[in-house]
């Protein structure tokens, strides 16, 4: 049991480390247009998931897709995920990694808010305080820095909507992901064909060497690997424990944005992030108390 718990934590940490360093990976193929990166990500993720489902997946989960309502939920989840991926790629390639980190700091708090509003989950001092502090941090950034954090809010809201839908349908995570990629695949293929017809695809002389092509073709693996690791880790560790570890990713992104990309981190940013970090701290206290209560 102890070994399984350690393994689960290590897998979760590895997943969050990969997600945290992902902006550096996308920067390696930054000369490729955003639509083409997203198209590759969807198509190659579908291939990776198909292979995973073939050898390791629980195919019995596909029976739920006979329900028309669940199929519509899958379409909605796919669109929310597509919006999230698109906004993240565009933000990273636009040099807004710092804003991306903000998205993944506030995302768990938006999920908490959505849970209280849409799923009638219990409210409480810690939950409400965390959400209010996060909202104050975002408002400080908007009014103090005079820059609306559009990418951050789109990423946080789209992923929260995605999580809400996944919570409602309760599908096997890999069956759900595979189905979502099937929904998005025609859009991705259409985008790639359009770029080919226009002659603006990366394959028209835009690949400088073999390594560049390799990085591009690995986008499906890089997308799905942390997700698979994370899903496996949740079989042995609690969601609360995972809640702590998830802040590894935005912290790495923050450091990349400031110290590698040289993005400005003004005193307004500091004040805004202090509110966000305080919200995260309150949220973590809530997770600790909830975990102790559950164990008791």
- Please give the residue that has the higher pLDDT: either 146 or 30: 30
pLDDT tens figures, 71-125: 999 999 999 999 999 999 999 999 999 999 999 898 888 888 888 888 777 778 8
pLDDT tens figures, 177-227: 999 999 999 999 999 999 999 888 888 878 888 899 999 999 999 999 998
Give whole-number Cα distances, 79 to 75, 242, 263, 283, 286, in Å.
6, 25, 30, 28, 31
pLDDT of residue 1: 54
Identify the DSSP state of 201: S
Give whole-number Cα distances, 293 to 234, 238, 286, 289, 296, in Å.
19, 13, 11, 6, 5
pLDDT of residue 241: 67
Identify the DSSP state of 203: T
User: Which residues touch 264 (CB under 8 Å, ≥6 apart)?
Assistant: none
């Amino acid at each position: 049991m102890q070994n399984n718990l350690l393994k689960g934590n290590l897998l979760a940490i590895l997943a969050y480390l990969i997600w945290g360093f992902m902006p550096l990976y996308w920067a390696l193929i930054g000369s490729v247009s955003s639509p083409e990166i997203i198209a590759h990500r969807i198509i190659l993720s579908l291939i990776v998931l198909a292979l995973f489902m073939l050898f390791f997946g629980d195919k019995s989960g596909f029976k739920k897709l006979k329900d028309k309502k669940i199929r519509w939920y899958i379409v909605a989840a796919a669109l929310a995920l597509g919006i999230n991926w698109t906004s993240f790629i565009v933000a990273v390639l636009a040099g807004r990694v710092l804003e991306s980190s903000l998205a993944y700091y506030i995302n768990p708090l938006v999920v908490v808010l959505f849970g209280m509003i849409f799923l009638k989950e219990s409210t409480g001092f810690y939950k409400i305080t965390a959400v209010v502090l996060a909202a104050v941090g975002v408002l400080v950034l908007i009014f103090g820095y005079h820059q609306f954090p559009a990418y951050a809010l789109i990423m946080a809201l789209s992923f929260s909507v995605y999580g809400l839908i996944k919570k409602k349908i309760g599908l096997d995570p890999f069956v759900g992901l595979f189905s979502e990629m099937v929904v998005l695949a025609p859009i991705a293929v259409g985008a790639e064909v359009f770029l080919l017809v226009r002659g603006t695809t990366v394959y028209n002389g835009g690949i400088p060497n073999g390594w560049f092509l390799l990085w591009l073709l690995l986008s499906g693996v890089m997308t799905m690997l942390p997700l698979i690791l994370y899903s496996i880790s949740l079989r042995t560790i609690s969601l609360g424990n995972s809640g702590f570890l998830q802040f590894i990713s935005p912290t790495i992104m923050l450091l990349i944005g400031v110290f590698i990309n040289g993005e400005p981190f003004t005193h307004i940013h500091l004040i805004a992030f202090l509110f966000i970090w305080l919200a995260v701290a309150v949220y973590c206290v809530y997770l600790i108390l909830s975990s102790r209560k559950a164990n008791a």
